[in-house]
Chain A
Amino acid sequence: MSELVKLHYDVDGNDFAAAGEASMKIKKELRNLGFPQDIIRRIAIAVYEGEINMVIHADGGTADVSVGLDEIDITLADKGPGIPDVEKAMQKGWSTASEEVRSAGFGAGMGLPNMKKNTDEMEIETEVGVGTTIHMKVYVA
């Protein structure tokens, strides 16, 4: 039996208050599993940014985390509008968020860059009109 703990969370769309629930629960799980604090912090940030994105742009989605001994894999999937230009979306400060969303303190265009910064691998699969799936890996030293 390989040691792989699978965690699944639904991210409720259109509820800003609920964004962050998955990352909070993941944090608690990883602490209970004895992972180092900096790894936990990086994963929490990556998942949190993803949750916010899914709430702002995609009407919610799912967060799946596979916790292994040497690496933690995160898959965030939504059936939102997709990202037309991934390269642009990866630039710091670039955002398509509405004025309303920005005035709530979100949509600063740091979501994807922050996810990349806090993970060791990141891959974006996206199709306009179909949705976006982001895979991320964090190596546990």
Chain B
Amino acid sequence: MANVRHSVALTLEKCKGCTHCLQRCPTEAIRIRDGHAQITTTLCIDCGECIRTCGYQAKHAEADPFECIQDYKFKIALPAPALYGQFDHLDDINYVLEGLLKIGFDDIFEVAQAAELVSGYSRRYIMREDVPKPVISSACPVIGRLISIRYPDLVDNVMPLHPPVDMAAKLARIVALKEHPELTDEDIGIFFISPCPAKVSYLKQEAEEDRKLVDGVLSMTDIYKRLVQVMKRGDVPPPRSKTGRVGIRWAGSGGEAKALSKHRHLAASGIENVIKVLDSIDNDTLPDLDFIELNACPGGCVGGVLAVENPFVARSRLLYVERTMPESRNWDFSKKQDSTFIPGDYFLEESLLYDPPEALDPDRRQALLKRMELERIAGELPSLDCGACGAPTCRALAEDIVRGTATIKDCLLLDRVRSNQTKEDET
């Protein structure tokens, strides 16, 4: 298992060691040890459920500090389209773009703009005959991680195209160097304004593997706070935006799929729903579909834990904002499909690989013996799934015991269950 970057962090003093995140984690990656939550990095998919569920604000997403933009002479902001849904009464996204310049950026490349191009090429990709169907969107990094650890038969279904943020970063650099010949590559700093920790991890991971796309990833919450101080109603901002509705819609669940509406598609959001859909594809119980859009966050990217507004309000605002916008400023979606050509730059450098969590034991004989032992231990445990032992379920504790990371003494209820049983036997 490669060393995978994660951006969910714990403030030790705030963590009470309660069981909220433990029982909410979709991959059972959390254990409570020594009175606080610990994440098994090989299982964490960066979905942010633990951040969402923590009642003590002990978990947070780690993004770069805003000040890091000062390290660059020419600073470019890449706002995720979800950012436009964060502001009350916004009727023109140019207010937001103007605000970004006011807080210190020199230029902007909207991720929504790149999203329109990715939508266009996605249509072409789906048209190709040799493509395994259904094609699963590659936009949400959580989905990629989840598929890579759990669905070996689906790794080839994931769209091998770069998500919009990657393309926005690539294009932003090209445009800046062209428009400002005085700049060198090192002068340019590109910063994504992220709605979620998964994008933070994804972009950091890419950088570590020598595919640096951005120079920093900033928290949408942090940028929001700075923007509201400088955004003033009244001074009509110059029209800078270069995106249309297609790009804006990527912020919400179903938006990416809508651009592919000539194909049979499905969109699901929220990690539990996503898992149900993936299980169905894996089991081949879904009807024939061409495209599946999956977002780990409820409502899509607007539901990210770094977004400020609740996702339903944000979606409603985006619908209001997009009403005066053209369908697209970067692709003619009304045109009949005439080509399957996709530039090489749009393809991911590496295809998704199956990277399963460790089996019970590398030796299959031992794995079988451990599995038998697991069943025996699970039978002894009270099946209350209380989480007091630090594992999310009694079965998970049984597995931890055979894996050697816990002991049966960790079960606080076992003695009580046993003594109750003795009493029952006596009567």
Contact = CB atoms under 8 A, between A and B. Distances in A.
Interface in B263-318: 279-280, 282-285, 287
A105 B368 contact: no
Contact of B364 (A29, A34, A48): A34
A33 B368 contact: yes
Interface of B: 152-153, 279-280, 282-285, 287, 354, 356, 359-362, 364-365, 367-369, 371-372, 375
Contact of B367 (A4, A17, A20, A33): A33
Contacts of B368: 3-5, 33, 67-69
Contact of B283 (A24, A29, A33): A24
Contact of A3 (B283, B285, B369): B369
Contact of A33 (B282, B354, B371, B375): B371
Nearest to B371: A5
What does DSSP make chain B's interface, helix, strand, loop or mixed?
helix
Given A5-B372, A24-B279, A33 B285 contact: no
B16 to A, nearest CB: 31
B285 A20 contact: yes
A60 B419 CA distance: 39
B52 to A, nearest CB: 25
A41 B285 CA distance: 15
B283 A20 contact: yes
A23 interface: yes
Interface string A8-33: 00000000010110011001010111
A103 interface: no
Given A5-B372, A41-B153, A69-B368, A32 B282 contact: no
Contacts of A27: 282
A60 to B, nearest CB: 17
B287 A105 contact: yes
A32 B367 CA distance: 8
Nearest to A19: B285
A105 B286 CA distance: 10
Contacts of B372: 1, 3-5
A69 B371 CA distance: 12
A34 B279 contact: no
Nearest to B354: A37
